[in-house]
Amino acid sequence: MDIFLQQILNGLVLGSIYALIALGYTMVYGIMGLINFAHGEVVMLGAMVTITIVNALVNAGVSLPGPVILAIGLFVAIPACMLVGFTIERIAYRPLRGAPRLAPLITAIGLSISLQQIAILIWGRNYIPFPPILNQDVVTFFGASITKLQIFIIVLCLLIMTGLLVMVEKTKLGRAMRATSQNPSVASLMGVNVNSIISATFVIGSGLGAVAGVMVATNYDQAHYYMGYLIGMKAFTAAVLGGIGNLGGAVLGGILLGIIESLGAGYIGDLTGGFLGSNYQDVFAFVVLILVLIFRPSGLLGEKLADRA
Amino acid sequence: MTTNTSTRGKMALFIGCAVLMAVAPFVIGSVLGNSWVRIVDFALLYIMLALGLNIVVGFAGLLDMGYIAFYAVGAYTYALLSSPQFGLHLPFYVTIPLGAICAACFGLLLGTPVLRLKGDYLAIVTLGFGEIIRIFMNNLNQPINITNGPQGVNLIDPIHLGDVTLGKTMQIGSLNLPVVYLHYYLFLILSVLVVILASRLQHSRIGRAWVALREDDIAAASMGINIRNIKLLAFALGALSGGVAGGLFASFQGFISPESFGLMESIMILAMVVLGGMGHIPGVVLGAVVLTVAPEILRDTIGPLQMNTFGRMIVDPENARQLLFGLALVVMMLVRPAGMWPSKRRALEFSDAKAKARAQKG
Amino acid sequence: MADALLKIEGINKRFGGLQALSAVSLEIPRGSIYGLIGPNGAGKTTLFNVLTGLYMPDEGTFTFDGQDLFRAKPHKVVAAGIARTFQNIRLFSEMTALENVMVGRHIKSRAGALGAVLRDPRTRAEEAAIRDKAWELLEYVGITDVAGELARNLSYGHQRRLEIARALATEPKLLALDEPAAGMNPRETDDLRQLMAKVRDGGVTILLIEHDVKLVMGLCDRIAVLDYGKRIAEGVPDAVRKDPKVIEAYLGVAHE
């Protein structure tokens, strides 16, 4: 039973990170009907920038508490990623609005590759360790253990996501975003500046991505130039699972996917009589993605997409 | 009279091309070295792959980002049946067709569940499918060792028939034909064959049905086209071509591992189709050649160029090459979204879309 | 009506909570021009999509020329002999006019992938026959002069005609036209009327959805009227014209 609980806890940590990234995909999809293939790279850059800043501070002998150093790193990473997100939209998407769908897909892939290569130029091809500045104390309950850091990750994710939902529901910007996602041309007739709303969407999504990137780096104690691809794919799966375009769905999908993956990896050995091992963990996300798209393409919370998919 | 001269002109052009193609490896080999003949061999392999993907993406309009999986299936079928891995050494005329059929079956396997998906969704699912295949290749070395995991399969038999083998330099009279030359001729014949087959398909009842599907699937269904079958046919035929290329790749290399079948390879082949000119066979061939040869030229020039200008290496050539590829994708889509050599119709479609976008903005 | 080509009974179609069609029954006599009219949102196009296989009806029966077509896929419906056009023209815009009609011959030809790559004499003969027939149909609707033009470059009237030619290429027993006169000027409408009469005289039954009540009344042998997903009247034009329920539906007196 404690193994089961442990897997659930691991899944929650993973899942809340997926959820944060999934929000970035789902916001862009909701507004533009496009999958932002370069979003995973934003997450990677968030992790890389933070580690660099943290390392610089630690090496300079700054004697601040770990969380403060991390916060400083984060406050550099978030605007940096926002800028990257803004630029991605400007280069890859805006000039191609109205072009056949393949074109923005290819530009996004091109940018994705370029960003990875730029990351190699700056940080090299090796794993970059996250310096041990954070409290790794373990809390144990019912035989399962979780670090305080992981509890913090879950809580922070939930806070950010709640904040975002409130923002979209209650503020003027949020209303303009919802209007744009319903019908961009009508929204623009009503005085909404569609271009700046789209930019804002990319910027906010990238900010969330930066935070998620840092969480991945702290949770696994490392970052890597190629980390964005897999985590991006999984977060995208989460967004589809929840119902793409639906913010609450992204959160639900992320957490569910995290738990599915974690339970799946824990039990696949038993289920297949030892034939498949936990090294198949990464298959689950893809299998979930394919199953959802086949059986319920609108996702758990999504409205039926008639001709959109 | 005029038809006569034009036929004669075509004949002359044809013979000229044939002669040029026949002597090409000798010219390239003596001027640039045999490593360049090897690169040309790969370009020919990629032509087969890109034309196969073009059936799915270009003709039928189904965005497949996991195409490399079929190449992998063909390659692994050949490798497992013609290598010490299982001690099987079946001849190529069994393993290559078998690999192609296996790949086509995988094509159907992928095609069936995704029949209802379109556009970006289809792209993502096919990408996931490609990844699943790769993860299995990577991990099916235990508990039973089938694929030998990340180490891959080694000592794969070259194509051979009786005493004639493509795995050793062949001597015909005083003429020495190294391995890369022999494969050049084999691949050349096969890629010409694939060009002919693809072109015949395009200009047939089936090809028209694919275009109809791509343009408007509802109208196509209302014209009596069985959408399910025509989609599956596109997936199967595209996969078939990929499977053949995979088998050839395994025999040519003598070694394969999951690393050759990653996402980057799928993107590369998609880029050949898209940057070349989707749905336009000459464009796709051009795309395959340019995207195989250009990186090699860069590999040979980036290093020396840096040494000459800066006196030291600033950017790792491999790194610079990939970065340029990524940027080229972006720039090409912004400047020439229909590709380097689009069919006339495609070019029109894209310029229309651009004009529409401009009108919307303005 | 002894000789009904198409017969539906009690067709229901729901979209979520919306009852788009309720218990609609129709009989279309062979060789007639049959009109389907009704106010906007009455369910005409929904019924049309049910009859052409794009929508699956929830309940009811649907027989056509002796075959059961209830919940049949679009290509089966075409094979049984129903061809259609679309309200918002759906041509294959990147193909030429001739190629569009050639696609319509798909169902009447056989060559598969093997034939395509081998180009055996039979396939070649079939391909030539497809081309000839397509050309003949362009002639029939009178647009051979634009045969080589891309469909999307054609004028509106030409596109409408091309869509009819493409539908006729499937050699239908029933040609279903969804508002073919929409957006046409009086001259084009008149040409269209003549074309429809010619098609009917050639032995093809026509089902016509139309807003232009005058056109329908003048051309159709029988008319059915839909309102709120229900068939409220059916009969010869004169009877339908005088039906109080029809007048009410069109003038919108009783609703709300």
Task: Concatenate the DSSP letters of all residues of C161-212 into one string.
Answer: HHHHHHHHTT--SEEEEESTTTT--HHHHHHHHHHHHHHHHTT-EEEEE-S-
- CA A79 – CA C137 distance, rounded (Å): 64
Q: Which of C107, C113, C170 sits opposite B206 (nearest CB)?
A: C113
Tokens, residue C245? 């329920």
Which among C53, C92, C115 has CB closest to B215? Answer: C92
Distance, in Å, from the CA atom of B149 to the CA atom of B256, rounded to the nearest integer, reads 11
Determine the pLDDT at residue C246.
86
Distance from CA of C236 to the nearest CA of B (A): 30
- Helices assigned H by DSSP within A89-147: 102-123
pTM of the model: 0.90
C92·B224 Cβ contact <8 A = no
The reply to whether residue C53 touches residue B233, judged by beta carbons under 8 angstroms, is: no
pLDDT at B185: 94
Interval A3-12: pLDDT, tens: 888 889 889 9
Work out the mean pLDDT of chain C and round it to a whole number.
90
Residue A75 pLDDT > 60: yes
Measured distance CA(C208)–CA(C179) in Å, rounded: 7
Helix, strand, coil share (%) of chain B residues, nearest 5 = 75, 5, 20
Distance from the Cα of A139 to chain B's closest Cα (Å) equals: 34
Which chain C residues contact residue B55 at CB under 8 A?
A: none
pLDDT number for residue C249: 82
Residue A127 CA to residue B289 CA, distance in Å, equals 35
Question: Which chain B residue lies closest to A33 (C-alpha atoms)?
Answer: B120
Among A263, A241, A250, which Cα is nearest to A212's? Answer: A250
Chain C residues near residue B345 by CB distance under 8 angstroms:
94, 150
Q: pLDDT, tens digit, for every residue of B261-273?
A: 988 899 999 999 9
The residue to which tokens 């084999």 are assigned? B186
Per-residue pLDDT at A308 = 33
pLDDT of res. B352: 63
pLDDT attached to residue A185:
84
User: What's the one-letter identity of residue A227?
Assistant: M
What integer pLDDT is reported at residue C145 of this predicted model? 94
Please tell me the predicted confidence (pLDDT) of residue A309: 29
* Residue A154 near residue A258, CB atoms below 8 Å: no
Residues of B in contact with A111 (CB under 8 A): 326, 330
Shortest CA gap A110–chain B (Å): 4
Q: Is the pLDDT of residue C4 over 70?
A: yes
SS (H, E, C) B1-22: CHHHHHHHHHHHHHHHHHHHHH
- Taking an 8 Å cut-off on Cβ atoms, the answer to whether B222 and C79 are in contact is no
Of B113, B135, B326, the CB nearest to A290: B113
Please say if the pLDDT value at position A307 is more than 50: no
Task: Tell me if residue B357 falls in helix, strand or coil.
Answer: helix
Instruction: Give the pair of three-digit tokens for residue B307.
Output: 């040494």
- Chains contacting C with at least 3 CB pairs below 8 Å? B
- Among A46-55, A245-254, A286-295, C13-22, where is mean pLDDT lowest? A286-295
Pair A30, A181: CB distance under 8 Å: yes
User: DSSP class of residue C36?
Assistant: E
pLDDT reported for residue B200: 95
First to last CA, chain A: 41
How far is CA C103 from its chain centroid? Answer: 17
Q: Which residues of chain B are within 8 Å of residue C115 when distances are taken between CB atoms?
A: 204
Q: Which of residues 209-248 of B touch C (CB under 8 A)?
A: 209, 211-212, 215-216, 218-227, 233, 237
Q: A301-305, C114-118, C135-139: lowest mean pLDDT where?
A: A301-305
Mean pLDDT over all residues of chain A? 87
pLDDT band at C129 (very low <50, low <70, confident <90, very high): very high
Domains in chain A, please, with CATH?
2-295 (1.10.3470)
Architecture of domain B35-361: Orthogonal Bundle (1.10)
Low-confidence ranges of chain B (pLDDT < 70): 1-5, 345-362
Structure-block tokens of residue B342: 């689009």
Stated as kind and residue range, the H or E segment containing C22 is: strand C18-29
What one-character-per-residue DSSP string does A159-214 give?
A: HHHHHHHHHHHHSHHHHHHHHHHH-HHHHHHTT--HHHHHHHHHHHHHHHHHHHHH
B281 CB within 8 Å of a chain C CB: no
pLDDT in tens, C158-193: 999 999 999 999 999 999 999 998 888 888 889 999
C255 pLDDT tier (thresholds 50, 70, 90): very low
Give the ipTM of the model, two decimals please.
0.92
Question: Helical H runs in B203-262?
Answer: 205-215, 217-222, 227-253
pLDDT value of position C84: 95
- Which residue type, as a one-letter code, is found at position C124? R
Across the interface, do B201 and C102 touch by the CB < 8 Å criterion? no
DSSP-assigned letter for residue B34: H
